[in-house]
Amino acid sequence: MCAMTSSLRDETSPPGPAPAPGPLPNTVVVPADEDPVSEAGSELLGGPPGRRALLGVSWWTPAKFLALVVIATYLVGLFQKAPCYADGWFHGATTQYTKACYSDIPHLFSGRGFADGGRPYLDPIPQGSPDMQYLEYPVLTGLFMQIAAWLTTHNGDLMSREQWFWLVNAGMLMICAVIAVVATSRAQRRRPWDALLFALAPCLALNATINWDLLAVALTAVAMAYWSGSRPVWAGVFIGLATAAKLYPVLLLGPLLVLCLRAGKWRELGMVFGGTAGAWLVVNVPIMLANWKGWLTFYSFSQVRTEDYGSFWLILMQAVRNGQHLESLNTWIAFLLVGCCLAVGWLAISAPRRPRFAQLAFLVVAAFVLTNKVYSPQYVLWLIPLAVLARPRWRDFLIWQACEVLYFLGVWSYLANISDGKHHGIDQQWYHFAIALHLVGTLYICYLVVRDILYPDRDPVRWDGSDDPSGGVLDGAPDRFVLGSARGLREDAGYAEYAPHSEVDWLAPDPDPEPEAHPQAK
């Protein structure tokens, strides 16, 4: 892709007639041209690029640069885990909490039978409970863990083998991080530099090696990139694979359903649903046939879990119900999640302008995170690429990340407090405050995304006349179905002034033969 400096700054644009509506197809948006925080940060590197700067035409393409940046961020995270790698995971009950360097990975090497050569889903785990006799992870994550176990040395004591297992997983997860950032940069090809938000995210460094979530994050990002490239079958395949690694990616099918309904893209919808189902079945059916009970453990264990760390349900149980578990918790969660998804669907159908795919994807996954019975610190990784595509603004992104970093520190400090009699760290009330920070930070981004949907002129992606750069077949497509109130809102809001020309034709059978230029392009 030929990259030029942004043509969005009047003072550097050559004299002449006003540009045509919408963005030029061969330009790349430079964040320093439109984002105040990015512009201020660019001063560290000499300021925003000038008119004659060539971006992306040399060896330093955005993808290569982003890959190096995300590796650097990832290595910072590995350094942060160094106290635990040395001894915190193995000696003392609270060191891994007081140093905030906890990871599931070394503990599950022996705790899930990999150290003894156990096969996930086929062999029972050592000292398993009645509710969890087999590995409690989805199949593709179990395969990822098994590959890492095969690559782990069989020599040495258990501690050295656990260290090696963590290192192998860390290397494999770093590859996932690189795939995720490159795919995110390609999901909105005119805005590849927005992926720097992911590459430099503080929570990526802190949470990347706590668990195996980056596998699903990478597969989901690839699915988003394929959908952006108008390849719905492959998008569906990777959504299916991501769902086989973690449950949340299946929620992306909901936004695609309502958006394709509004745009009349039934064929593409069927292709993405078919690809999802096919890929998921190919991965899961062999394990279903080999040991149904082992395969079912992930789903059955999720059902029997009670209120857990990080959720507002835990606050409700501890602060309101005096430690008594909420009856019918699963029913309450299902009710709230379905209600949130229906609200997002109504927003998609009734908004004055069809929302972007990334906006709705972020909202439904955020709804899942906010209503779930547990919130592990690494779950923030699910939302980071979606937030980058939904609202690429550094100030708001960093506010949200600050809330998540404080929660990250809070949960480990609280676990240190309750792990021994010395009561290091924060107590229950302060931990509830940390949970509240996480909830408020996520709701803040949700509010901004909803506001951008209702007022598209505030959308940082659409302000230059773009429609849905990551929408694939939805980008610039005319609406075929909207609620009656939506059409009135579109016309009352002057929607035709900033809509793609295809939608102007649909709204007004007899448009002006010489439509006025996009107001932001004047």
pLDDT of residue 487: 53
Query: Of the candidates 1, 25, 114, 38, which has an alpha carbon nearest to the alpha carbon of residue 394?
Result: 38
pLDDT of residue 20: 39
pLDDT of residue 19: 39
- What is the three-class DSSP state of 129? strand
pLDDT of residue 18: 40
Same domain, 386 and 514: no
Query: Of the candidates 387, 484, 391, 482, which has an alpha carbon nearest to the alpha carbon of residue 499?
Result: 482
Compute the distance between CA of residue 264 and CA of residue 282 in angstroms, rounded to an integer.
Answer: 29
Q: At what angle do helices 380-390 and 158-187 cross, to 10 degrees?
A: 20
pLDDT in tens, the chain (522 residues): 333 333 333 333 333 334 334 455 556 766 655 666 655 655 555 555 555 455 555 667 889 999 999 999 999 999 999 999 988 898 877 889 999 999 999 999 999 999 999 999 999 998 877 778 999 999 999 999 999 999 998 888 999 999 999 999 999 999 999 999 999 999 988 899 999 999 999 999 999 999 999 999 999 999 999 999 999 999 999 999 999 999 999 999 999 999 999 999 999 999 999 999 999 999 999 999 999 999 999 999 888 888 899 999 999 989 888 878 888 899 999 999 999 999 999 999 999 999 999 999 999 999 999 999 999 999 999 999 999 999 999 999 999 999 999 999 999 999 999 887 777 889 999 999 999 999 999 999 999 999 999 999 999 999 888 899 999 999 999 999 887 555 544 544 444 433 443 333 333 333 333 333 333 333
Alpha helices in 305-393 (DSSP H): 312-315, 329-350, 357-371, 380-390
Alpha helices in 14-157 (DSSP H): 31-34, 36-42, 62-80, 82-83, 95-98, 104-111, 139-151
Domain contains 398:
yes
Domain contains 178:
yes
| DSSP character at residue 152 | S
Domain contains 506:
yes
pLDDT of residue 154: 87
Domain contains 202:
yes
Contact 216, 384 (CB under 8 A): no
| 155: Cβ contacts below 8 Å, ≥ 6 apart | 161
Compute the distance between CA of residue 230 and CA of residue 483 in angstroms, rounded to an integer.
Answer: 26
Distance of CA 216 to the CA centre of its chain: 9
Compute the distance between CA of residue 65 and CA of residue 68 in angstroms, rounded to an integer.
Answer: 5
Same domain, 243 and 361: yes
Same domain, 411 and 318: yes
Same domain, 264 and 340: yes
pLDDT of residue 240: 98
SS3 string, 435-484, reads HHHHHHHHHHHHHHHHHHHHCHHHCCCCCCCCCCCCCHHHCCCCCCCCCH
Contact 98, 425 (CB under 8 A): yes
Task: Provide the greatest CA pair distance for the chain.
Answer: 79
Domain contains 10:
no
Compute the distance between CA of residue 102 and CA of residue 261 in angstroms, rounded to an integer.
Answer: 44
What is the token pair recorded at 342?
């229906």
What is the token pair recorded at 317?
């149980």
What is the token pair recorded at 506?
């649909």
Same domain, 399 and 500: no
Compute the distance between CA of residue 478 and CA of residue 264 in angstroms, rounded to an integer.
Answer: 9
| 264: Cβ contacts below 8 Å, ≥ 6 apart | 477, 480, 481
Same domain, 499 and 394: no
**Domain final residue, candidates 463, 480, 506:** 463
Domain contains 481:
no
Query: Of the candidates 36, 61, 79, which has an alpha carbon nearest to the alpha carbon of residue 195?
Result: 61
Compute the distance between CA of residue 407 and CA of residue 435 in angstroms, rounded to an integer.
Answer: 6
Compute the distance between CA of residue 482 and CA of residue 266 in angstroms, rounded to an integer.
Answer: 15
Domain contains 54:
no
Query: Of the candidates 143, 144, 238, 263, which has an alpha carbon nearest to the alpha carbon of residue 187?
Result: 238
Cα distances from 468 to residues 133, 290, 301, in angstroms, run 46, 44, 39
Same domain, 504 and 364: no
pLDDT of residue 381: 98
Same domain, 250 and 314: yes
Query: Of the candidates 344, 69, 398, 362, which has an alpha carbon nearest to the alpha carbon of residue 220?
Result: 362
Compute the distance between CA of residue 86 and CA of residue 70 in angstroms, rounded to an integer.
Answer: 24
pLDDT of residue 504: 32
Number of domain units in the chain = 2
Compute the distance between CA of residue 415 and CA of residue 412 in angstroms, rounded to an integer.
Answer: 5
Compute the distance between CA of residue 522 and CA of residue 517 in angstroms, rounded to an integer.
Answer: 7
CA atoms within 13 A on the CB side of 130: 1
Query: Of the candidates 362, 324, 333, which has an alpha carbon nearest to the alpha carbon of residue 453?
Result: 362
Query: Of the candidates 375, 359, 380, 368, which has an alpha carbon nearest to the alpha carbon of residue 340?
Result: 368
Q: CA torsion, points 299, 203, 337, 411, in degrees to nearest 10?
A: 80
pLDDT of residue 470: 92
Distance of CA 489 to the CA centre of its chain: 31
Same domain, 513 and 380: no
Domain contains 476:
no
Same domain, 416 and 276: yes
User: What count of other Cβ atoms lies within 10 Å of the Cβ of residue 104?
Assistant: 17
Compute the distance between CA of residue 230 and CA of residue 475 in angstroms, rounded to an integer.
Answer: 9
Q: Which DSSP string corresponds to 224-262? A: HHHHHTT-HHHHHHHHHHHHTT-SGGGGGHHHHHHHHHH
Tell me the one-letter amino acid at 24.
L
Q: Which domain holds residue 501?
A: 491-521
Same domain, 390 and 313: yes
Distance of CA 41 to the CA centre of its chain: 24
Contact 358, 386 (CB under 8 A): yes
Strand partners, 78: none
Same domain, 499 and 433: no
Contact 289, 312 (CB under 8 A): no
